[in-house]
Amino acid sequence: MVNPPARLLALATAKPAHVLHQDAVMAAGQQLFGDAFADIDRLLPIYAHAGIEQRASCVPLAWYLEKHGFTERNALFLQHGRDLLVEAADRCLEAAGLAHEDVDAIVAVSTSGIATPSLDALVMEERPFRRDTMRLPVFGLGCAGGVLGLSRAAAMARAHPGSRVLFLCVELCGLTFRHDDRGKSNFVATALFGDGAAAALLSCAEGGGPAVGASGEHTWAGSLDVMGWKVCDDGFGVLFSRDIPTIVRNDYRAACDSFLARNGLDLAGFDAILCHPGGAKVIAALEEVFAMAPGAMRHAREILRSHGNMSAVTILFVLEQALAQEPPGRWLLSSLGPGFTAAFLSLEA
C-alpha cells in the first residue's frame, strides 16, 4: 500500500521588528567600506540594482556600524531565532486549528548561527510540545534549505503515517556580518540579506491543503567554492561566486529537466514556477532559463523587494504569497544553495 502524500495543513511567517531601508543601508555601507575601496562610488549602485527596497532585521541599523564579536552575535541568533520560530509556530498551529501537543515531529533548518541544544529544542522549551516529539535539526543547506527542508519534513510525515510534522526555518543573515571584514563579498552581502522565519505543518492523514509531490536535488561537481561560509576567527565569512547567474543560465535547466524526467513530470504540466530570489540577477537568469518574460516571476521579485534575501526562509515567504494570490494548481518550487545544489519540489495546490 502506497502512503498518501503529505499535505501542507498551514504555513506562517514571522519577521523581526527593525526595518532597514535600502537608501539608509547604502549610506551605512559607504561609511563602513569607504576607506577599503578606492572606487567605492562605482560600487554603490549595487544597492540600487539589488531589487530591494527594505528588509527586516533583528537589530537596528546602527548596530552594524559597531564591532561585535562572534559570541555576542551568536547569542543574539539564539535569542531572536528562538523567538521568531515560536511566533511562526504559534501562527501556523493556530491557522491549522491545532495545539502544540498535536505535533509529533519537528524539522528545524537554519545555517546562519550555531545552536546546541538545537533550535527545535529551544522552541520546545518555550511551548507545551509533547516530551516525546521527534526532532531533526538540519544545518548547512543555506538558501536551498527552504525547499529541501520542506521535502525532508514531507518525507518524515510519509514515513510515519498519521503523524503531524512541523517544519521550522529561520535565518538571521544580518548577524553574520563581520565588522572588520572589508572584502568585496562582505560588502555585497550588506546589499542583499535580511532576517525572517517560517513554520509549515504537514501530515498525510488529514486536511485538504496542497499535496507535496516529487522532490529532488542536483549537486554539481567541483562547485564547493560557489556558495557557503568560510569559518573565521570572528564568525562566518560569506562566500558566493559572481558566476552564479552564469551557472544558472548554462547548467540549471538540464538539472531541472533531469529531475522532472526521473519523476515522470513535464514542465508544461506546471501552472506556476516559484523560485528562491537569490538576487535580481539570479531571478533574471531563471526567467531566461524558463523562457519567461522579464518580470514574470513576480512573487519572487516582490518578496525580494520587500524582504531581501533571507536565505532558506525566502522561498517560504514566496510560497505564502502565492497561496494567498494564485488559483490552485500544480507548482514547481526551486532554490539554489551551497554544494552547489539546486533543489526541486512539486506541489499540488
What are the pLDDT digits (tens) for 129-165? 999 999 999 999 999 999 999 999 999 999 998 999 9
In the chain, the domains with their CATH numbers are 7-203 (3.40.47.10), 211-348 (3.40.47.10)
pLDDT at 40 over 90: no
- The Cα–Cα gap between 192 and 137 comes to 26
Q: Give per-residue pLDDT as tens, 298-322.
A: 999 999 999 999 999 999 999 999 9
* Closest to 111 (Cα-Cα) out of 57, 172, 53: 172
pLDDT of residue 232: 85
Report residue 187's pLDDT band, with 50, 70 and 90 as the boundaries.
confident
pLDDT at 23 over 70: yes
Mean pLDDT of 190-197: 95
256 is catalytic: no
Q: Is residue 215 classed as helix, strand or coil in its secondary structure? A: strand
Query: Residue 70, preceding bond cis, omega within 30 degrees?
Result: no
pLDDT of residue 1: 55
Q: Give per-residue pLDDT as tens, 243-302.
A: 888 999 999 999 999 999 999 999 999 999 999 998 899 999 999 999 999 999 999 999
pLDDT of residue 33: 87
Which residues of 139-254 form beta strands (DSSP E)? Answer: 164-172, 195-203, 211-219, 227-232, 235-240
Report residue 127's pLDDT band, with 50, 70 and 90 as the boundaries.
very high
Q: Is residue 157 classed as helix, strand or coil in its secondary structure? A: helix
Cell 528545524 belongs to residue: 108
pLDDT of residue 120: 98
Which helix H or strand E contains 248, and what residues bound it? Answer: none
Which entry of 58, 143, 169, 173 is annotated as an active-site residue?
Answer: 143
| Percent of the chain residues past pLDDT 90, beyond the cut | 81
10 Å CB burial of residue 306 (0-12, 13-18, 19+) is: middle
- Rounded to 10 degrees, the C-alpha dihedral 189/320/196/129 comes to -150
pTM of the predicted structure, to 2 decimals = 0.95
pLDDT at 323 over 60: yes
- The Cα–Cα gap between 77 and 88 comes to 16
Angstrom CA distances, 345 to 111, 136, 183, 267, stand at 20, 20, 35, 12
Report residue 2's pLDDT band, with 50, 70 and 90 as the boundaries.
low
pLDDT of residue 239: 82
| Percent of the chain residues past pLDDT 70, beyond the cut | 99
- Rounded to 10 degrees, the C-alpha dihedral 312/313/315/321 comes to 180
pLDDT of residue 256: 97
Say if CB 268 and CB 330 are below 8 A apart.
no
Measured from the Cβ of residue 187, the count of other Cβ atoms closer than 10 Å reads 20
Say if CB 122 and CB 132 are below 8 A apart.
no
How high is the mean pLDDT of the chain?
A: 94
Report residue 170's pLDDT band, with 50, 70 and 90 as the boundaries.
very high
